[in-house]
């Protein structure tokens, strides 16, 4: 982690059962800034923002370069003590080790169709050429 590039901390966001997303401070700030802003937000957008940003927590590295996941995030997601850290493009994901390991064959088998589906969605997205 480079403080000049990534910021001085990480942003930890509980995402769903057995999943926590961790972003560099810079990446989280950039992604948060891309969201449409205004006083007249929809109820869903207001709820999303309050929930997402309300649960997000800034965490700093200790002197050994480690982070501590907030206890509330661990409780909310039900993660135990055996986890894996998965690199997922612009973030890290903390996942349950047993659940991750058990689904490796299934996820690997789905990979080609998942790539095709996402590529198709990108081609058909508004503003794509």
How many CA atoms lie less than 13 Å away from 37 in the CB half-sphere?
4
pLDDT tier for residue 54 given thresholds of 50, 70 and 90: very high
The residues pairing with 19 across neighbouring beta strands, listed in sequence order, are 16, 95
Q: What is the pLDDT of residues 18-51, one digit of tens each?
A: 899 999 998 998 888 887 776 767 888 888 889 9
**Domain edges within the chain:** 3-98
Q: Write down how long the chain is.
A: 129
Encode pLDDT of 76-105 as tens digits: 999 988 999 999 999 999 999 999 999 999
User: In angstroms, rounded to a whole number, what is the distance separating the alpha carbons of residues 44 and 96?
Assistant: 29
CATH architecture of structural domain 3-98: 3-Layer(aba) Sandwich (3.40)
Helix/strand/coil (H/E/C) assignment for every residue in 82-107: CEEEEEECCEEEEEEHHHHHHCHHHH
DSSP state for residue 61 in the 8-state scheme: -
Say which DSSP state 52 is in.
Answer: H
Q: Which of 96, 29, 95 is nearest to 56 (CA)?
A: 29
């Amino acid at each position: 982690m480079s403080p000049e590039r990534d910021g001085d901390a990480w942003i930890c966001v509980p995402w769903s059962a057995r999943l926590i997303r961790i972003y560099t401070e810079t990446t989280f700030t950039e992604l948060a800034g891309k969201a449409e802003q205004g006083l007249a937000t929809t109820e869903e957008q207001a709820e999303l923002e309050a929930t997402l940003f309300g649960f997000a927590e800034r965490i700093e590295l200790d002197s050994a370069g480690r982070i501590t996941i907030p206890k509330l995030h661990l409780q909310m997601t039900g993660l135990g003590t055996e986890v894996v850290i998965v690199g997922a493009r612009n973030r890290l994901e903390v996942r349950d080790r047993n659940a991750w390991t058990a689904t490796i064959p299934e996820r690997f088998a789905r990979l080609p169709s998942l790539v095709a589906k996402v590529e198709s969605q990108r081609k058909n997205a508004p503003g794509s050429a």
